[in-house]
Amino acid sequence: MTVRAIDFVVVHVADMDRAVSFYRDTLGIPINEDGVHEVWTELDTSPVTVALFRNPDSAGSNASIALAVDDVAASAEVFRAAGRDVVLEPIDTPVCHMAAVRDLDGNTLILHQRKDGTAG
C-alpha cells in the first residue's frame, strides 16, 4: 500500500446547519457547492478539503484523515492482515471507493480512491 496524498479531513458534527454557519460565517471559509449533500458538506479549503459530516453519535470526536490510495480493497486487507479493525468495509459512491480502518490508537483513517484518478 502506498499513500499518494491526503484527500480530505472529516469533522463530525451534530447539527449541519449550525456547523456550516460557524465554518462559513464565523471563520469565513467558503462552501464547495458541488460538495453539499444531506449529511455531508465540503468546505473550500484547497489543497486539502475539510468535510463536515453530520453524525450526532460521534460529534466532537477526533477528525478523520482520508488517505488517497490506489486500491481501497487491497489497502483494507493490509490493515486486516496487520490485525487492525476495518470499521467500514469497502463501499462505492458515485465519485469514489472508500473504507475506514483504525490506527494503533483507535483513530479512524479513511482509505479513499477517487474514480477520476485524482488525489489530494
- Write the single-letter amino acid at 106: G
pLDDT of 60 strictly over 90: no
Please report the pLDDT score of residue 96 as a whole number.
96
Whole-angstrom distance, CA of residue 99 vs CA of residue 72: 7
Q: State how far Cα 113 lies from the chain centre.
A: 11
DSSP code, position 62: P
pLDDT of 61 strictly over 80: no
Whole-angstrom distance, CA of residue 115 vs CA of residue 92: 9
pLDDT of 86 strictly over 90: yes
Q: State how far Cα 9 lies from the chain centre.
A: 5
Please report the pLDDT score of residue 74 as a whole number.
96
Q: State how far Cα 44 lies from the chain centre.
A: 14
Neighbouring-strand partners of residue 43: 31, 50
Report the predicted TM-score, pTM, of the whole model to 2 decimal places.
0.71
Whole-angstrom distance, CA of residue 86 vs CA of residue 27: 34
Arithmetic mean of pLDDT, 25-39 = 89
Domain residue spans of the chain: 5-114
Q: In this predicted model, what pLDDT tens digit does every residue of 101-116 receive, in sequence order? A: 987 767 788 999 999 9
Please report the pLDDT score of residue 105 as a whole number.
64
Sequence-ordered list of residues with C-beta below 8 angstroms from that of 111, at least 6 positions apart, any chain: 66, 67, 69, 72, 75, 76, 79, 90, 98, 99, 100, 101
Please report the pLDDT score of residue 110 as a whole number.
93
Least confident of 7-16, 36-45, 99-108: 99-108
Domain 5-114, classified CATH 3.10.180.10, yes or no: yes
